Amino acid sequence: MWTKIKIFEIRKDALESLRKDYNGRIVKNKRIVFSYYYMFPFIISITFLSIGVSINSDIANYFITGISIFAGLFFNLLLVVADKLNVRKRLLDSDSNEETKNYVIRYRHFSEQLISQISYGIVISIGLIILMFFTHFKSLLPQTDMCYVKIINKILEYTLNGLIFFNGTQFIIMLFVILSSMYVMLLDDLKIKNK
């Protein structure tokens, strides 16, 4: 496989980062991450499908626009996090006491987690955009009175909508994780500046 594309590595690192605290220590309970990141989106998807919610091409256009904006913001956020990490490394060069060293090490762990989460947020958003784009092709499916064609069309529609709801919920969860991480990072910055 072409080694320049590391989507599975990004996914693996981001999901591992969900099990770590901000110091890089692994939290023991894997079930919590599984519940929040897999079971909750699955329940949301099944609920939306069971009450008959579906994404048509007009709604998909709005979602594509919104998700594209978030993907662009995530790209910008990657640069901000990397720049802040470089500032912390320079801080260590100018002040090498034990407290500063611990702060920079903690910040490096935190930045690695945040970069993997942001990168995976971008991957999810690209996947959602592709799934939303497929909603435009529903009209190209054959429309006949044959029973098996209707069943196949319904299965394809439910599968597409289920994937959109599942990945959309995961995207929102990842968005909240990134927001919470940025909140912690900014508060940590304020505490250091006050010292």
Name the residue with higher pLDDT: 39 or 190: 39
1: three-class secondary structure by DSSP = coil
CA distance 60 to 78: 26
| Number of neighbouring beta carbons within 10 Å of residue 146 | 10
> Mean pLDDT over all residues of the chain?
84
Q: What is the pTM of this model?
A: 0.84
pLDDT of residue 105: 78
Q: Which of 68-72, 162-166, 185-189 has the lowest mean pLDDT?
A: 185-189
26: three-class secondary structure by DSSP = strand
CA distance 111 to 103: 12
pLDDT band at 141 (very low <50, low <70, confident <90, very high): low
Residues 133/64, Cβ–Cβ less than 8 Å: yes
Mean pLDDT of the 168-177 span = 93
Helices 98-134 and 57-94 meet at what angle, rounded to 10?
Answer: 170
Q: Is the pLDDT of residue 172 over 70?
A: yes
Q: Is the pLDDT of residue 28 over 80?
A: no
95: three-class secondary structure by DSSP = coil
For the ranges 8-17, 39-48, 85-94, the maximum mean pLDDT occurs at 39-48
CA distance 25 to 109: 9
Q: Specify the amino acid at residue 143.
A: Q
- In percent, the amount of the chain with pLDDT more than 70 equals 89
pLDDT band at 126 (very low <50, low <70, confident <90, very high): very high
